[in-house]
Amino acid sequence: MNSLVAIPVAEWPRLRDLFSIDWPKGAAAYCLLDTSINCPKLSLEFNFKLYCPFGDMNNGMVAVTVQGDDIQVIIRPLRDVIKIEEALLSTNVIDWSKNIIAPFASPEVTASLVKISNKLNVKIYYEQNKAITFLLNKTCIPFDISLPENTYVESLKPEHIDIVDKTWTYSSERSKEYFEILMRNDSTYVLYSTENNEPMAWVTVNDAGSLSHLFCLEPYRRKGYGELITKYACNDILKKGRNIIAYTVENNYKSQKLLLKLGFENIGYDYWVIIVKK
C-alpha cells in the first residue's frame, strides 16, 4: 500500500469537519476542502487529488493539484507531522524531481519539509514567502453595499482576461489559463463601467477558497472600489454559508488594513514553500 492513500470524494466532508475541531488552526484546510466539495468542477479542472498518510484521516492531509507543469502539494496536519513526514519520505505519489510549491504551509509543516529535505534530495526556499492569514467567519453579517452610479458587477469576461492576468503579481506563462478556469467556475468578481463595459476593479476566489488578486486600475483608484468589490465577493460567499480566508504578503499593510476593517481576523502566518530538486 502506498503511504499516501487516496480519499474518495464521498469522504471529503468527514475530513473537512475534522479540521473544524481545532479552530482557527484548521481553517486553511477546512476552506480548501469546503471549496473542493462545493465546487467539484473547479477541483476537477485543477486535477485536485486528496490523500491521507497511511489512510488515516487523523494523520491530516496531503493534497496535490496539477496545472500543466505546475504542481502544488498542500500539507496540513491534524495533530503532529510525524506520520506526514513518514508518508512523504516513502510515497511515489509525488515526483520530487519536479518543481513544486507547497502553498500556505504552516510554520510546523515548513520546518518539517526543511528537516526531511536532504532525504528527499531537494532544496527548500521559504524565507521570502511569508504570508499573513486572515479569516472571516461564515456567521458574519453580510455587508450593506450599494453600487456606484454607472457600474455593475459581473463575472470576468473572456475579453478582459489578459488585463487581469498581466496585472497579477504572479503572472506567468500559464496564469492566463488559471484565470480562465476561475472564470468558468464563477470565481471572479469584476466591477464594470456601464459607459464602456470596461473593468475597473476585481477580486477572484481561488481553488483553495481564498480571496486573491484584488486589483483596481489606476484611473479608478481612491474611490473605494477595491473595498466595494471585496465586500461584494464576501457577501456572495457568505450567502453560500462558507468561511472566507485570505492571505497577504507580510509587508502588504494596505491589504491587511482593509481586511481588518472588514472584520477579518488575523489568525497567524503561513509560508509558500518552493521545493526544487538538488
Residue 137: how many other CB atoms lie within 10 Å: 14
Domains and CATH numbers, the chain: 4-132+271-277 (3.40.630.30), 151-241 (3.40.630.30)
The three three-digit cell numbers of residue 202, written as one number? 476585481
Q: Which one-letter DSSP state was computed for residue 209?
A: S
Over residues 210-228, the pLDDT tens digits come to: 999 999 999 999 999 999 9
**In which region does residue 190 sit, left (phi positive, over 0), alpha (psi from -120 to 50) or beta (all else)?**
beta
**Model pLDDT, residue 233:** 98
- From 206, 211, 205, select the one nearest 247 (Cα to Cα): 211
Mean pLDDT of 161-166: 97
Which stretches of the chain are DSSP H helices? 12-18, 27-38, 40-45, 82-90, 107-120, 161-166, 175-184, 225-239, 253-261
List, for residues 109-134, the tens digit of each pLDDT value. 999 999 999 999 999 999 899 999 99
What pLDDT, on the 0 to 100 scale, is given for residue 218?
96
Q: What is the pLDDT of residue 216?
A: 98
What's the confidence (pLDDT) of residue 143?
98
Residue 1 has pLDDT above 80, yes or no: no
The predicted structure's pLDDT at residue 226 = 97
Mean pLDDT of all residues in 227-234: 98
Task: State pLDDT tens for residues 69-104.
Answer: 889 999 999 989 999 999 999 999 999 999 999 999
| pLDDT attached to residue 69 | 83
**Model pLDDT, residue 70:** 85
Q: Calculate the average pLDDT of the chain.
A: 96
Average of pLDDT values for 127-144? 96
Alpha helices by DSSP H, 19-59:
27-38, 40-45
- How confident is the model over 190-206, as a mean pLDDT? 97
Section 17-44 average pLDDT: 97
pLDDT > 70 fraction of the chain, expressed in percent and rounded: 100
